[in-house]
């Protein structure tokens, strides 16, 4: 079984490049399952229902979120209606939505878990503590556990990967929007990458027009962030192959595509 995961989809450019190219990537990798981080899919901030429906119209099994999950307030009203959209599990339980989504694929029970880091991020319950309390029940109920750990620091993400090594099939980091070059199988078999990267405008600062961020860095003045609309655009993620009898990952490959213009075929970076 081949599982694709893609890093944070940023704004309209991210939605567009994914809409245009996802199907060909699925065909190329003979993918069975697709997971996309959607926390920045609406103008860089959160996920409107309209944009969620656009993503759900694509062959996507699950949308994970992150610290931007509540930025579009309407999600408070619609999240409970769409269990395939998961928000970090370590937000207060009283909030809408769930931190885990379970589904079946040809008899294999899959669980996708989303958690947020604590280091240099909003203070939430410890992702390690929250997962530890539920881990046995989660593993009892699934064959393949996939974790999107949305965190800032490489250390916190590496620690999560090693802690869940041999328990989760995949631990993939998101949030930094820059793909890391450390995709590998950990010693006990978990497929791991510190950050999947970003799906959106390639020549930008994490999706935002680079001139705005450079000006902000030079002047320290507050600035209104605008998503870069120009090409090139990129798709970042991983493909993980999982053995269907042992449920153990057998390979992980980074996906890092760049598209110079609409309709262009990809170049590998
Ligand atoms: Fe993000
Ligand atoms: Fe984030």
For 224-254, how does the pLDDT look when each residue is reduced to its tens digit (9 = 90+)?
Answer: 999 999 999 999 999 999 999 999 999 999 9
Distance of alpha carbon 20 from alpha carbon 200, whole angstroms: 12
Question: Does residue 146 sit within a domain?
Answer: yes
Distance (Å) from CA 197 to ligand 1 centroid = 9
In this structure, the strands spanning 233-242 and 249-259 are antiparallel
Distance 3 CA to ligand 1 centre (A): 21
Residue 210 in domain: no
pLDDT at 86: 98
pLDDT at residue 8 in the model: 98
Q: How many A from CA of 75 to the centre of ligand 2?
A: 16
Q: Which ligand is nearest to the CA of 150?
A: 2
The count of other CB atoms within 10 Å of the CB of residue 248 is 17
pLDDT tens track of the chain, all 269 residues? 999 999 999 999 999 999 999 999 999 999 999 999 999 999 999 999 999 999 999 999 999 999 999 999 999 999 999 999 999 999 999 999 999 999 999 999 999 999 999 999 999 999 999 999 999 999 999 999 999 999 999 999 999 999 999 999 999 999 999 999 999 999 999 999 999 999 999 999 999 999 999 999 999 999 999 999 999 999 999 999 999 999 999 999 999 999 999 887 777 66
Q: Is residue 213 domain-resident?
A: no
Residue 123 lies in a domain: yes
Distance from the alpha carbon of residue 106 to the mean position of ligand 2, in angstroms: 32
Alpha helices by DSSP H, listed for 110-191, are 127-140, 154-163
Relative to the alpha carbon of 44, which ligand is closest?
1
Ligand of minimum distance to the alpha carbon of 151: 2
CATH number at residue 113: 3.60.21.10
pLDDT score recorded for residue 268? 66
Structure confidence at residue 177 (pLDDT): 98
Closest-lying ligand to the alpha carbon of 10?
1
The answer to whether 36 touches 14, Cβ cutoff 8 Å, is no
Strand extents, DSSP E, the chain: 2-6, 8-9, 33-37, 62-64, 85-86, 100-105, 108-116, 144-150, 170-174, 184-185, 191-193, 198-201, 233-242, 249-259, 267-268
Distance 198 CA to ligand 1 centre (A): 8
Query: At CA 78, angle to CA 73 and CA 83, rounded to 5?
Result: 125
Is 10 a member of any domain? yes
- Please state, in angstroms and rounded to a whole number, the distance separating the CA atoms of residues 35 and 263: 23
How many angstroms separate the alpha carbon of residue 39 from the centre of ligand 2?
7
How far, in Å, is the centroid of ligand 2 from the Cα of 264?
Answer: 29
Confidence at residue 180, expressed as pLDDT on a 0 to 100 scale: 98
Give pLDDT, residue 174. 98
Does residue 79 belong to any structural domain of this protein? yes
- Say which of 68, 150, 175, 177 is annotated catalytic: 68
Ligand nearest to the CA of 116: 2
Q: How confident is the model over 112-124, as pLDDT tens digits?
A: 999 999 999 999 9
Query: Could you give the angle at the alpha carbon of 210 between the alpha carbons of 209 and 213, nearest 5°?
Result: 100
Predicted model pTM: 0.97
pLDDT reported for residue 266: 77
- Distance (angstroms) between ligand 2 centre and the Cα of 121 equals 9
> Which pLDDT score is estimated for 269?
61
Does residue 180 belong to any structural domain of this protein? yes
Q: At what angle do helices 49-56 and 11-29 cross, to 10 degrees?
A: 20
CA dihedral sign of residues 21, 25, 30, 31: negative
| Domain with 183 in it | 2-201+229-268
Is 209 within the bounds of a domain?
A: no
Let me know if 150 is a catalytic residue: no
Instruction: Please report the pLDDT score of residue 70 as a whole number.
Output: 98
* Number of folded domains that form the chain: 1
């Amino acid at each position: 079984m081949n599982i694709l995961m893609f890093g944070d989809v940023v704004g309209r450019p991210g939605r567009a490049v994914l809409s245009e190219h996802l199907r060909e990537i699925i065909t190329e990798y003979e993918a069975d399952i697709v997971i996309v981080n959607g926390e920045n899919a609406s103008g860089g901030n959160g996920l409107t229902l309209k944009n969620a429906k656009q993503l759900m119209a694509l062959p996507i099994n699950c949308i994970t979120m992150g610290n931007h999950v509540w930025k579009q307030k309407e999600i408070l009203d619609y999240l409970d209606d769409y269990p395939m959209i998961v928000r970090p599990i370590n937000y207060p339980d009283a909030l809408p939505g769930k931190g885990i989504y379970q589904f079946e694929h040809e008899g294999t029970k899959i669980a996708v878990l989303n958690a947020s880091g604590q280091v240099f991020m909003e203070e939430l319950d410890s992702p390690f503590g929250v997962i530890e309390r539920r881990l046995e029940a989660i593993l009892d109920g699934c064959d393949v556990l996939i974790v999107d750990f949305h965190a800032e620091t490489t250390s916190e993400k590496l620690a999560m990967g090693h802690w869940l090594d041999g328990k989760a099939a995949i631990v993939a980091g998101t949030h930094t929007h820059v793909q890391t070059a450390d995709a590998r199988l950990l010693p006990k078999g978990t497929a791991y990458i510190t950050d999947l990267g970003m799906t959106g405008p390639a020549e930008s600062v994490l999706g935002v027009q680079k001139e705005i961020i450079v000006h902000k860095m030079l002047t320290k003045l507050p600035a209104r962030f605008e998503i870069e609309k120009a090409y090139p655009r990129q798709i970042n993620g991983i493909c993980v192959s999982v053995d269907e009898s042992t449920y153990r990952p057998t390979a992980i490959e980074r996906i890092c595509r760049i598209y110079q213009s609409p309709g262009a075929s990809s170049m590998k970076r």
